[in-house]
Amino acid sequence: MEAYRYQEFAYLVVPIMTGYEFFVAAKKERASRGDSPLGAYILDICGFIFMALIPALFIFTIACLEAGLFAFREETLARLDRYGVMFFFMGAWWQVYIIGALRARRSQGENLLKQVWIPFISLGIYISLLILWVSPWGLKWVSLGWFILFTLFMAIIKPSKRTVERVLWILAGITFFLENILFLWLETVV
């Protein structure tokens, strides 16, 4: 396996953490209601997708590309690999927003700094430095600045945890939508 492929395994940190957060949110949902509501099942399914299915597809495409063991056309596998890499490159941002929203949902008390903002800023710095390390136009610094300024702004205005959750879900949706538009545009250009 080529050396740069090992570095790609570091991208699995964010989806696995997202899956973990979905599982923990489902557990808390069950505990708070005393039964198993539909929302807990949906959260469990999302946890499974992020923690098991996405890493399995990622590892499958890398192994097949490196070993040349794909029964179908190489172009199909290369396209799947591109989708996966774009999912991890660009997807890390909306996944960090989802992690923040899920943590805000289950946070105790009004102190969101330790429960939401420190993990949020840590993951933001992690993905900014990992993914955009050699990016053009100083995107690494733009991403770092965005996470730091957004966190400072939210810490200064001190919104309720419900407002924080909503804002982060909205940012996740917008980022997911814009990411897919960008990816479609890049697919047509490349």
Please give the pLDDT value at position 39: 82
User: What tens-digit pLDDT sequence spans the chain (190 residues)?
Assistant: 666 667 777 778 888 899 999 999 999 888 887 777 888 889 899 999 889 888 887 787 777 777 777 666 667 766 666 666 666 556 688 899 999 999 998 887 777 888 899 999 999 888 888 776 666 667 788 888 999 999 999 989 989 889 999 999 999 999 888 877 877 776 677 6
pLDDT of 84: 66
Q: What are phi and psi of 189, to 5 degrees?
A: -80, -40
DSSP string, 149-175: HHHHHHHHH---HHHHHHHHHHHHHHH
Amino acid at 83: Y
- Predicted local distance difference test score (pLDDT) of residue 93: 84
In the block, tokens 């570095």 appear at 7
What's the pLDDT score for residue 64? Answer: 76
- Every domain of the chain and the residues it spans: 3-189
H/E segment holding residue 145: helix 139-157
Give dist(CA 66, CA 46) in Å, integer: 29
Give the C-alpha separation, 125 to 149, whole Å.
12
